[in-house]
Structure 1
Amino acid sequence: MGAAIIDGGRLLAAQRAEPPELAGGWEFPGGKVDPGESDEQALVRECREELGVEIGVGDRIGGDWPLTGDWIMRLWTARLVKGEPRALEHLQLRWLAAGEVYDVAWLPADRPVVAAVAPYLG
């Protein structure tokens, strides 16, 4: 699952550090759901681990977005509750205004999701 973290009309994008075949590509922060977690609980945990922030989970965007193989991504809007995002597991982070959302090289699976997030940026 992933978080479309929006603050002040800007979207947070994260540049992957690994695995090598995905390194350098941009994505929405997030990750896998552990056993016993809801998607929303996992999203809060992942943002704490990856970015060092606490988030509030908002609206779900779309349905199940297909990834490679049998994997899917589920995406929610999110807002910062506490902390300033830091690249703890990514190469870098970047805040993107509405007119800048395509200025980074999104991973192929994330590209269609960006279009669905854009209306939330105002």
Structure 2
Amino acid sequence: MRISTAGVVLRGEKVLVALRKPGTSIGESWEFPGGKVKRGERPVEALQREFREELGIGVEVGTLIFEGRFSNRGQDYLLHAYNVELESEEFRLKEHQKVQWIDLTALQSLPMADSDRQILTFLLAS
């Protein structure tokens, strides 16, 4: 089973999410930034790499806050979501149209991949 990571950046009742560019399997969906763990990589390292590659910023990865499972294109994944602190907010977007701070409740009405919706459900219940 492959591992996928997600970073949760909270500010009060708002969370940082990114809107995917069109043309991918989850295009034009909001997500918690992150991605797949590569061979030989630890989940924390993957999350740091993904923030650098996709958003152009460094992050400090905190505690693991959520674990879930999902499938995408016939592949099963274990999802690890971590608390994350940004080192900067000077985003350089590569995979996303935009990033935004959104109230957790308002995020419920926006399109999200099932994996990210699992994290949102957990955050709302916490």
Class of the TM-score when normalised by the shorter of the 2 chains: 0.7 to 0.9
RMSD: 2.1
Contact 1:56 1:78 in 2 (8 A): yes
Shift of 1:36: 2.0
Q: 2:35: which partner in 1?
A: 31
Shift of 1:119: 6.0
Name structure 2 gaps, 5 residues minimum.
Answer: none
3, 8, 19: which one aligns with 2:7: 3
Task: Provide closer, same or farther for how the CA distance between residues 87 and 103 of structure 1 changes in structure 2, counting only shifts above 3 A.
Answer: farther
Give CA deviations for 1:55-103 in whole Å, capped at 9, x if unaligned. Answer: 1111212223323331232111101123433432112212112442324
Shift of 1:8: 5.0
Runs ≥4 in structure 1, deviation > 4 angstroms?
none
Question: What letter corresponds to residue 106 of structure 1 in structure 2?
Answer: M
1:85 and 2:91 aligned = yes
Q: Distance in 1 between matches of 2:78 and 2:22?
A: 19
TM-score (norm 1): 0.81
Name structure 1 gaps, 5 residues minimum.
Answer: none
Q: 2:45: which partner in 1?
A: 41
Q: Report 1:1-122 matches (<5 A).
A: 1-7=5-11, 9-17=13-21, 19-68=23-72, 69=74, 70-118=76-124
The percent of aligned pairs where both chains have the same amino acid is: 30
Contact 1:65 1:113 in 2 (8 A): no
The number of residue pairs the alignment matches comes to 120
